[in-house]
Amino acid sequence: MIITFILIITLLWLLFKYWVSNYKYWDEKGIPSIPGRFPYGSELNLTLFKKFLGEVFQEMCQKFPSSPYFGAYLMRKPILIIRDPEYVQMVLVKEFSSFRDRLFVKIPESDMLSQHLVNLEGDRWKALRNKLSPTFTSGKMKTMFPFFLKSSESYGSLLQSHVDSIIDVKDLASRYTTDVICSCAFGLDTNVMENENSNLIKLGKNILSINFKLLFAFLMTTTFPKFSEYYQFRCTPEKKESQVFVYNLVKDTIKQREEKNIKRKDFLDLLLQLKNKGNLDDEQDEVIEENIPPFDMNLERLAAQCFVFFVAGYETSSSVQSFCLYELALNPAMQERVQTEIDRMEQLHAGVTYDAVKEMTYLDMVVSETMRKYPTLPALSRLCTKSVTMPNGDEIEKGTFLYIPVWALHHNPEYFPEPDKFNPERFSEENKHTINPFAYIPFGEGPRFCIGKRFGLLQTKMGLITILRNYSVEPCGSTQIPLRMSSAPLTTTTEPIKLKLVKRKFL
């Protein structure tokens, strides 16, 4: 009994010593850092997602106002937080080849829907990026614009049934974004506008939620990297039927198109061209770099690209629309100015056209400021794959995990005076040149910036135009003022954003 007790104590002591052995890592390198504390590391809220990550990183950055970066510990893993735009540029652009990967856990290939552009690493990412880049040109967006218009018509009917009532802004916006994405990515005419219990709506709501199993896996792979080789860490829906649902949706749509020779000129059509021909019909053959393995677009990989397109478009666009309408409700003069611009452009172009949307400069300013104040991703992650010497002489070793605190950059008064004030004029033609481009990164930056930027902006603006051309939004007794952010991985609120939808008063 005594021997057993001694063995247990010894094992616990050895585990403790192993755990805290990394807590001198940054001190030994001479890099300022937040001390690690057993067992959670430097910040409990960073480990257990008990607080909004944007605010967690912001508070950490405020401790080092004169340092371009600083160290911290996630459990026992040393991490580096980059808080200076010059060094953000170095990581995302100048030294991109050493920081192009995002994940420090291994995603199993059996998780078929996770084999997409966001998760892939190294040469596989580069090969797929080369293939997909031509699918998101402005020309391709203009070709898909009729699908946006059709979804807007259905959205208008849905809004009409909610006039003079309190609306959950994100719920309505997510139905619109789902309809657009399903049309462009899956080639489907859905009934999500009327059916809030649609399987696709449920998939969108559940896909980014954190459960205990996912949190446990994240903590274990952080603490014991080898754990990911034995544990099948999944980035996609936990329920296998969700994966099967998406895969079959894509497979059945493709089968129908090929059998009936259907051409819609949507995202799925473009992916099919890549799958069957290796390149797009109106593009020259891609340039194959030496030592870059080919990336064949088989059915599983095609389904994975549709899946991430759905997830990214569903969450980002609906969130930006929600936050934007919230700010416009609190700033009625700004809302009226957007509406006046919509009227003018609609009259000038004889309707809402692709060119009309592009020329709505004030709407673009409002959306840009919304993404500044409420960036969907509160932080970007990067993995150092090759040791790099910083401009000041510090060496960042291979295997170091980095965070770029987007929320903290966007709310730093050094780059954005009065950062908590909603001020679209920051992005006017007269002022936008004063913005440090690497202090404003809602879509990331460098070779790995969000490939769907054009699509996301167009989808967001069309959703806003559909509402504001005929309706106005106002705060009500159910509106949370100020907004409080949740502890979810993305920028979301603790309570739904509730506003009153009223018929617009035309002057």
Q: State the binding site for heme.
A: 450
CA distance 25 to 77: 9
Other Cβ atoms within 10 Å of 282 Cβ, number? 10
3-state secondary structure 377-420: CCCEEEECCCCEECCCCCEECCCCEEEECHHHHHCCCCCCCCCC
Alpha-carbon distance values, 241 to 20, 179, 253, 416 (Å): 41, 22, 18, 46
The answer to whether the bond into 482 is cis (omega within 30° of 0) is: yes
Other Cβ atoms within 10 Å of 34 Cβ, number? 18
Matching residue, tokens 């895969």: 247
Burial class of residue 94, CB neighbours in 10 A (0-12, 13-18, 19+): middle
* Displacement of CA 497 from its chain's centroid (Å): 19
What angle (nearest 5°) sits at the alpha carbon of residue 362, between those of residues 361 and 368?
90
Alpha-carbon distance values, 360 to 88, 140, 145, 334 (Å): 31, 20, 16, 14
Q: Of 42, 40, 13, 8, nearest to 25 (Cα)? A: 42
H helix and E strand count, the chain? 19, 9
CA distance 337 to 369: 15
Q: Which string of DSSP letters, residue by residue, matches 314-383? A: HHHHHHHHHHHHHHHHH-HHHHHHHHHHHHHHHHHTTSS-HHHHHT-HHHHHHHHHHHHHS-SSS-EEEE
- Binding site as annotated, residues: 450
Report the greatest alpha carbon distance in the chain: 88
* Both structure tokens of 233: 């860490």
492 and 354 Cβ atoms separated by less than 8 Å: no
405 and 384 Cβ atoms separated by less than 8 Å: no
